[in-house]
Amino acid sequence: MKYILTAIVCITLLVSCGESKEEKATLKTKTTTVKKSKVVAKKEMVVVDADGVVNVNMITADRMWFNLKKITVKAGQKIKLTLTHTGKLPKSVMGHNVVFLKQGVTTSAFASEAAAARDNDYIPEGTTAVIAYTKMLGGGETTTIEFTAPAAGTYDYICSFPGHYGIMKGKLIVA
């Protein structure tokens, strides 16, 4: 019985992660739009306001994807990041967050620890490996965080939902 239930759960997850033809067309259009207007999209996605705050608009959907693979800021600059999950699936199935890791933290090691922290939005309690993170989102949700850019260097950011870090990742470049 245990094996049958496990098989049913696995099949359900695989089917729910697939996209219908209509969803594929919509996602392809969204992706194509961003690619075709790359310069415009970057300007709209990362904007420095009059106070010097870097406003970052990061988007994700019902697949493992971030619209931004690199964010460049200056050391000590205030960052206001808004994460929007444009999908429809609940966070228990296709949840996403953004976790900025300190230098020297191995993403796979952090992700292994995070996978065990289900009750804490997949952020290990008491961790010292994180600069900042958003809460875990499901489809249709948005959240905003603010933090100060660390010292100059390159920092990884990932989604800590189990299994997502390998694809959902990027670099915070601090000059």
Q: Any idea what the CATH number is for the domain that residue 163 is in?
A: 2.60.40.420
With tokens 């997850």, the residue in question is: 13
CB 143 within 8 A of CB 137: yes
Give residue-wise pLDDT tens across range 84-103: 999 999 999 999 999 999 99
> What pTM value is reported for the model?
0.76
Q: How confident is the model at residue 45 (pLDDT cuts 50, 70, 90)?
A: confident
113 domain-assigned = yes
Domain contains 114: yes
pLDDT band of residue 27 (cuts 50, 70, 90) is very low
- DSSP letter string, 12-45: HHHHHHS--HHHHHHHHHHHHHHHHTHHHHHHHH
Q: Is the predicted pLDDT of residue 42 greater than 80, yes or no?
A: no
* Domain limits for position 66: 46-174
In a domain, 16, yes or no: no
pLDDT at 119: 94
How many independent structural domains does the chain possess? 1
Beta strands in the chain (DSSP E): 46-48, 54-60, 70-73, 78-85, 99-101, 130-133, 142-148, 153-158, 169-174
Do 37 and 64 meet the contact criterion of CB atoms below 8 Å apart?
Answer: no
Least confident of 8-17, 39-48, 104-113, 135-144: 8-17
Residue 56 lies in a domain: yes
B/e letters for 29-38, b = 16+ CB within 10 Å, e = fewer, are eeeeebeeee
- According to the model, what pLDDT value does residue 11 have? 43
Task: Judge whether residue 77 has pLDDT over 60.
Answer: yes
User: What pLDDT score does 136 carry?
Assistant: 98
User: Residue 89 falls within a domain, yes or no?
Assistant: yes
Q: Is residue 55 part of a domain?
A: yes
